Amino acid sequence: MMIVMQANASEDDVQAVLQAVQRHGFQPHVSRGEERVVIGVVGEARRAEPDAFLRLPGVARVVPLSRPYKLASREFHPQDRQVRVGSVKIGGGASVVFIAGPCSVESRSQLLETAHAVKEAGAHMLRGGAFKPRTSPYSFQGLGERGLELLAEAREATGLPVVTEVMSPELVPLVARYADMLQIGARNMQNYALLRAAGASGKPILLKRGMSAKLDELLLAAEYILSTGNENVVLCERGIRTFETATRNTTDINAVPALKERTSLPVIVDPSHSTGHWAYVAPVARAAVAAGADGLIVEVHPRPEEALSDGAQSLKPERFARLVEEARAIAAVLSR
Amino acid sequence: MMIVMQANASEDDVQAVLQAVQRHGFQPHVSRGEERVVIGVVGEARRAEPDAFLRLPGVARVVPLSRPYKLASREFHPQDRQVRVGSVKIGGGASVVFIAGPCSVESRSQLLETAHAVKEAGAHMLRGGAFKPRTSPYSFQGLGERGLELLAEAREATGLPVVTEVMSPELVPLVARYADMLQIGARNMQNYALLRAAGASGKPILLKRGMSAKLDELLLAAEYILSTGNENVVLCERGIRTFETATRNTTDINAVPALKERTSLPVIVDPSHSTGHWAYVAPVARAAVAAGADGLIVEVHPRPEEALSDGAQSLKPERFARLVEEARAIAAVLSR
Amino acid sequence: MMIVMQANASEDDVQAVLQAVQRHGFQPHVSRGEERVVIGVVGEARRAEPDAFLRLPGVARVVPLSRPYKLASREFHPQDRQVRVGSVKIGGGASVVFIAGPCSVESRSQLLETAHAVKEAGAHMLRGGAFKPRTSPYSFQGLGERGLELLAEAREATGLPVVTEVMSPELVPLVARYADMLQIGARNMQNYALLRAAGASGKPILLKRGMSAKLDELLLAAEYILSTGNENVVLCERGIRTFETATRNTTDINAVPALKERTSLPVIVDPSHSTGHWAYVAPVARAAVAAGADGLIVEVHPRPEEALSDGAQSLKPERFARLVEEARAIAAVLSR
Amino acid sequence: MMIVMQANASEDDVQAVLQAVQRHGFQPHVSRGEERVVIGVVGEARRAEPDAFLRLPGVARVVPLSRPYKLASREFHPQDRQVRVGSVKIGGGASVVFIAGPCSVESRSQLLETAHAVKEAGAHMLRGGAFKPRTSPYSFQGLGERGLELLAEAREATGLPVVTEVMSPELVPLVARYADMLQIGARNMQNYALLRAAGASGKPILLKRGMSAKLDELLLAAEYILSTGNENVVLCERGIRTFETATRNTTDINAVPALKERTSLPVIVDPSHSTGHWAYVAPVARAAVAAGADGLIVEVHPRPEEALSDGAQSLKPERFARLVEEARAIAAVLSR
């Protein structure tokens, strides 16, 4: 980091900052300009707290020079990383992956019908919620363990690996017993106990961006998982919260190239939550592939008008099948 | 809710919606205008999913008529509610409450020095973090149980009840053993397992607004706690995330009257996190009291430049003492 | 609109609202539910002010039923509209249009070199700023009329029609004398005097979305132009302001399908301003075409490191040429 | 500014940057750290474009050291400035100023009734819109010059100086003939032709913050006015656009102390637009005074339910009178 002194800082101020830097175990490096002094702080920059220096007399600003994450950074790991879920490969030059299924597991017949339909349409993995984080305590909260059993049955029937959300550290062992990949939902992106427990399970993790998380914060959440030794993290852009109310969220399509520049972890996009409206899902899904995403996770329901959750944003299987074709043709343009 | 049909919806569309409404167990109420049909849905509106009707042919929009929470609503509980933490009363006409202390418990001497100082300055409760949710895994994560022990010791020494954050459901019993009030942090506002566990502890809860939570979502989070039978919930505005970068967050001062209109639960403000800059803490704290807040929670550190976290936004004890005086004088103007 | 009465509104309240509706020249239509009364307001809804009824006793909410614009709406004009600029066709099933050129016209040689380069790369129109809206009064403000002359010369030399920004009503005649299409910039989207003057010029208009404009507000700005009798309006998504700081703005890719649903006017995307970073321009430009945009407007500079403005987000001509190829291949997937 | 080189930048990269800095007429100042080189740029920093250096090979980031405005800065003008409108003093230690009146001038009787009422309640100045910027072309657009005449008549009748909005450069002479202070509305904060024309009129200017303007951008807009030689600029916080929909805008109360730190220009708050709801106006107005605002501008209408615009957020005169009393008592606490 650099500590920028005020134009009128005294020599005593400068000396006090130098001592503080050393007291924190870092090496200061002074640069005296015509107008002001700038002090570089050398050492393990990720452990330094800019706050520690901001309150010293004469300090104008503290500017970090390095990104705050390491294990998640492309600098640390330049090659594109590939995450495997069973036989499915995500990222690292693999072809675009399609993950599809209902928002919630509602019943055996609903799930099996959907699983077969999305497989036939070209999906590589099955999604479905057993434990559902719902804004209202009065909304359907999911089937719980029964939902996990049905997901496992659907995997047996179709061969599709399963990803499902885990909402609490103590549920990690249960969900990990059934699922092939654990999803950390947007609301829990900064639930650090959960990130650590999920990481420690050794399962591949699908980490969704929080709805007001900056990209650096998403990467720091990934860093929590990576620091458990689990390298199998897939990042998911799922829409951010903005002032626009015409859509449920705003898909941050810029996040695809911006994340790819910062990290070598795979990046997928969820066009269902990021738009909230089925008619916008296919255009935005195509856009994600065109922007370079490694995959898509899409809500599909055979009869969206009967869905217990997210019916408004679910595709019917036929529409999903057409989307897979379009997305593949776009991926081909980009030689994927 | 009202289901607004498209101008060109057919009679068959209307009949299909009526049947769907009845299938969900509600009573439809048709109103045929000149241009379009509007269908009112009567019954336990909070259980109905607007999504369920949005996908039916001919439906233009679904408009909720009631607010989605009940136990938290002023309609349900018109009288201002008072939450007691030991002998301290928050809300319900009580005088403005001051909660103060360091961001993190760092050491015995730091905590005791601060606790005595804030008590002398007029604080009613002590705050301090033992388990700290930090954006980076490389930042100081708190002293854990040792921090709780020190908080309990500071309570013994000063008589101030203690509020501290709990970050995970399995830690609720431990934290509840030491603390007088449990804080749910902004990052965990939609951590439903934690809301339920904290509620079930029976302890008073300080619920912080998530940094991109709408007021209705904050009240639905409170509803999760209230639905455990625990009525002792205090809401806390702590700044929302906006495009403005001159401050750490944007204090949503409108939230004070807007929450008071929607709920009778007490509302306090955290000017430290909502500004992120010590020099703005006192002006914004005064503003909160002037807007009708029931209390303030303020970060105070005897030597902010040595703080392990949030030094930039911590007040020194002298400045806090002056703030208490100013805030009391403003409260007096409002006859509190 | 619908006026939703409070559950406890009296019959007197209802009668007062009915009279107010009639006093404003509209026809009320009462619907008495079990819990509350809802009053439909029939007539030229776009002229009614919801505010007028909100303050009446017993009124809970006022819900608009129609969109507030008419001439801009797809309902009013269902067929995709095509805007012609010289021989270039935008929208209405035409193939994807590429508009390219420097942020600012800086010199004769810079402009001519760029114009020839983008033409060769496949651009259909030339962009370039002569009058520049700059956040700081100390930044380069453009060459003014001299810039317009150079743009006209570049058109002669390349045959590419020219679009350039007009910042003030009194400059409309001057700019219209040189340009083939007038651009209304994001900062001026709600400069109503300018919208009217530009519309009245009869020239095709490129209307950029304001950086915090909702889609309905963009369409109301278009309505100002359309209401002058000028139907040649092209809408441009150019990024909105959000909390994310990794990019200059957030490209609202959802806006492409969401606008297409609401209006039949052509929609193009500006990936240069919406990302602010040259390395993200091509991925986001491809995404825009994949989402269904009718065209792209891209900043190109032969030597971005010497640009007087927006060098960070300008593509070099070679990179732009590759982008045109990729975008065309994606358009082909969508049969455009 | 500082140009931060990449860790792996070559010596050739560094030399190329040094030459570029000199070519732009600035003095480079090299600082070689252990990990990377940082180049300080000394000179008239406000004229340097960071963009110019970002695209050079080996450059990681460009960090501005100075604020981009000068005339508006407190550094340049440390003493609080006072703006006079007739005999009314705003800022510079003067007591809190109350500006009040209807959103729109609707009729002679409405305006005169309101003007007398707000004067009696304690207002120092009269506000009222003659030219109205309306989101929809179908909304009431104001009485135009007839409105200005009525404002002048109300001034004669009450002695209150008048502030009213000017929306277009060519209207500046007309509006300046009638008004004592010109208002630049939020939508026109970056209408640079208007800022210059209003500044050149010599009249005091009330500059409203754009709804997505950062504080630095507001101050740069003020800089446009100040650079015409007109020093009589009052800044106005009027709410910013965020994700929260419970209120029309979000009052950025942090802006009061944050602006006071950056500038010595007076700062007032508009609680009517920043909340959009009459019931929140008084609490937020009190908060503004408690935070240190130099004044308030409040919409008052004798019969809000009949207002042609903004009825939902207008106070009745009695409520305004009570607000003036409360605000004065709070100002007294702060010794104003």
* Full DSSP string of D53-95: HHTSTTEEEEE--S-S-STT-TTTS-SPP-EEETTEEESTTPP
pLDDT of residue B6: 86
Which pLDDT tens digit goes with each residue over A205-254?
Answer: 999 999 999 999 999 999 999 999 999 999 999 999 999 999 999 999 99
Pairing of strands A233-237, A267-269: parallel
**Residue A111 scores a pLDDT above 60:** yes
Residues of A engaging C, defined by a Cβ cutoff of 8 Å: 212, 214-216, 240, 242-247, 250-258, 261-262, 274-275, 277, 279-280, 283-284, 286-292, 326, 329-330, 333-334
Token pair recorded at residue C141: 């403000």
How far apart are alpha carbons B220 and B204 in whole angstroms?
17
- What is the phi/psi pair of residue D207, to 5°? -105, 115
Which pLDDT tens digit goes with each residue over A304-334?
Answer: 988 888 888 999 999 999 999 999 999 999 9
* Among the partner residues D42, D242, D243, nearest to A35 by beta-carbon distance: D42
* Among the partner residues B254, B275, B290, nearest to D286 by beta-carbon distance: B290
pLDDT of residue D29: 82
- Cβ pair D45, D66 in contact under 8 A: yes
Contact C284 A257 (CB under 8 A): yes
Half-sphere exposure of A80 (CA within 13 A, CB side): 15
Closest residue in D to B329 (Cα) is: D333
Residues of C engaging B, defined by a Cβ cutoff of 8 Å: 2, 4, 27, 29, 31, 33-36, 38, 40, 42, 60-61, 63, 65, 241-243, 245
Contact B137 A223 (CB under 8 A): yes
pLDDT of residue C45: 55
How far apart are alpha carbons B86 and A127 in whole angstroms?
47
Q: Is B162 helix (H, G, I), strand (E, B) or coil?
A: strand
Q: Which residues have CB under 8 Å from D29's CB, separation 6+?
A: A31, A33, A34, D39, D40, D41, D42
Tokens 């009718």 locate to C294
Q: Quick one: average pLDDT of A166-180?
A: 97
Which pLDDT tens digit goes with each residue over C224-254?
Answer: 999 999 999 999 999 999 999 999 999 999 9
Token pair recorded at residue D312: 């939902």
Residues of chain D with C-beta less than 8 angstroms from the C-beta of C68: 135-136, 138
Token pair recorded at residue A102: 């209902």
How far apart are alpha carbons C285 and B81 in whole angstroms?
54
Contact B283 D244 (CB under 8 A): no
Expressed in angstroms, the distance from the first to the final Cα of chain C is 39
Q: Please name the residue ranges forming H helices in A184-239.
A: 192-200, 215-226
Chain A interface disruption, residue of C254, C270, C326, most A CBs within 10 A? C254
* Among the partner residues D212, D215, D290, nearest to B287 by beta-carbon distance: D290
pLDDT of residue D45: 55
Residues of chain C with C-beta less than 8 angstroms from the C-beta of B65: 4, 36, 60-61
Q: Is D261 helix (H, G, I), strand (E, B) or coil?
A: helix
Contact D290 B330 (CB under 8 A): yes
Q: Looking at CA atoms only, how far is residue D221 from chain C in angstroms? A: 7
Task: With a cut of 50, list the residues of chain B below it in pLDDT.
Answer: none
How far apart are alpha carbons B164 and B311 in whole angstroms?
18
The band of C46, judged by pLDDT with boundaries at 50, 70 and 90, is low
- How does DSSP classify residue C304? G
Contact B250 D254 (CB under 8 A): yes
How far apart are alpha carbons D326 and D331 in whole angstroms?
9
Residues of chain D with C-beta less than 8 angstroms from the C-beta of A63: 2, 63
How far apart are alpha carbons D281 and B332 in whole angstroms?
20
> What is the DSSP annotation of A233-268?
EEEEE--B--S--SSSSB-BTTHHHHHHHH--S-EE
The band of C310, judged by pLDDT with boundaries at 50, 70 and 90, is confident
Residues of chain A with C-beta less than 8 angstroms from the C-beta of D65: 4, 35-36, 60-61
How far apart are alpha carbons A218 and A236 in whole angstroms?
9
Q: Which of D115, D160, C281, D261 is nearest to A257 (CA)?
A: C281
Contact D254 B256 (CB under 8 A): no
Residues of chain B with C-beta less than 8 angstroms from the C-beta of A171: 193
- The domain segmentation of chain B, as residue ranges, is 2-63, 83-333
Residues belonging to chain A = 336
pTM above 0.90, yes or no: yes
Token pair recorded at residue A275: 């738009």
What average pLDDT does chain C have?
A: 93
Contact B254 D251 (CB under 8 A): yes
**Residue C323 scores a pLDDT above 70:** yes
Which has more pLDDT, C100 or B309?
A: C100
pLDDT of residue A97: 98
* Among the partner residues B169, B211, B309, nearest to A212 by beta-carbon distance: B211
Q: Residue A87: enclosing H or E segment and its boundaries? A: none
**Residue C50 scores a pLDDT above 90:** no
* Among the partner residues B36, B42, B60, nearest to C34 by beta-carbon distance: B42
* Among the partner residues B214, B257, B277, nearest to D280 by beta-carbon distance: B257
How far apart are alpha carbons D191 and C185 in whole angstroms?
10
Q: Which residues have CB under 8 Å from D3's CB, separation 6+?
A: D17, D21, D38, D39, D40, D41, D53, D59, D61, D62
Contact A29 D29 (CB under 8 A): no
The band of C25, judged by pLDDT with boundaries at 50, 70 and 90, is confident
Contact B312 A54 (CB under 8 A): yes
- Cβ pair A190, A211 in contact under 8 A: no
Across-strand partners of A3?
A39, A62
How far apart are alpha carbons C215 and C213 in whole angstroms?
6
Amino acid at C70: K
pLDDT of residue D46: 58
Contact B253 D257 (CB under 8 A): no
Domain C83-333 CATH superfamily: Aldolase class I (3.20.20.70)
Which pLDDT tens digit goes with each residue over C122-132?
Answer: 999 999 999 99
How many other C-beta atoms lie within 10 A of the C-beta of residue A268? 24
pLDDT of residue B67: 82
- How does DSSP classify residue B226? H
Contact D258 B246 (CB under 8 A): yes
Sign of the dihedral defined by the CA atoms of residues D99, D104, D105, D106, in that order? negative
Walk along chain D (336 residues) and give the pLDDT tens digit of each residue. 888 888 889 999 999 999 988 888 888 888 777 678 888 887 655 566 777 788 888 898 888 877 889 999 998 899 999 999 999 999 999 999 999 999 999 999 999 999 999 999 999 999 999 999 998 898 889 999 999 999 999 999 999 999 999 999 999 999 999 999 999 999 999 999 999 999 999 999 999 999 999 999 999 999 999 999 999 999 999 999 999 999 999 999 999 999 999 999 999 999 999 999 999 999 999 999 999 999 999 999 999 988 888 888 999 999 999 999 999 999 999 998
- What is the phi/psi pair of residue C212, to 5°? -130, 30
Contact B258 D274 (CB under 8 A): no
Tokens 């959907």 locate to A114
- Cβ pair B4, C38 in contact under 8 A: no
Residues of chain B with C-beta less than 8 angstroms from the C-beta of C27: 34
* Among the partner residues D246, D274, D290, nearest to B214 by beta-carbon distance: D246
Segments of chain A assigned E as strands: 2-5, 27-32, 37-42, 59-63, 83-85, 88-90, 97-101, 125-127, 162-165, 181-184, 205-208, 233-237, 267-269, 295-299
Residues of chain D with C-beta less than 8 angstroms from the C-beta of B254: 244, 246-247, 250-251, 274-275, 280, 284
Domain D2-63 CATH superfamily: Phospho-2-dehydro-3-deoxyheptonate aldolase; domain 1 (3.30.70.1140)
How far apart are alpha carbons A284 and A278 in whole angstroms?
10
ipTM of the complex: 0.94
Tokens 């089925």 locate to A278
pLDDT of residue A194: 97
Q: How many beta-carbon pairs under 8 angstroms link B with D?
A: 127
pLDDT of residue C48: 64
How far apart are alpha carbons B49 and B54 in whole angstroms?
9
Residues of chain A with C-beta less than 8 angstroms from the C-beta of B138: 46-47, 68
Tokens 């935008």 locate to C90
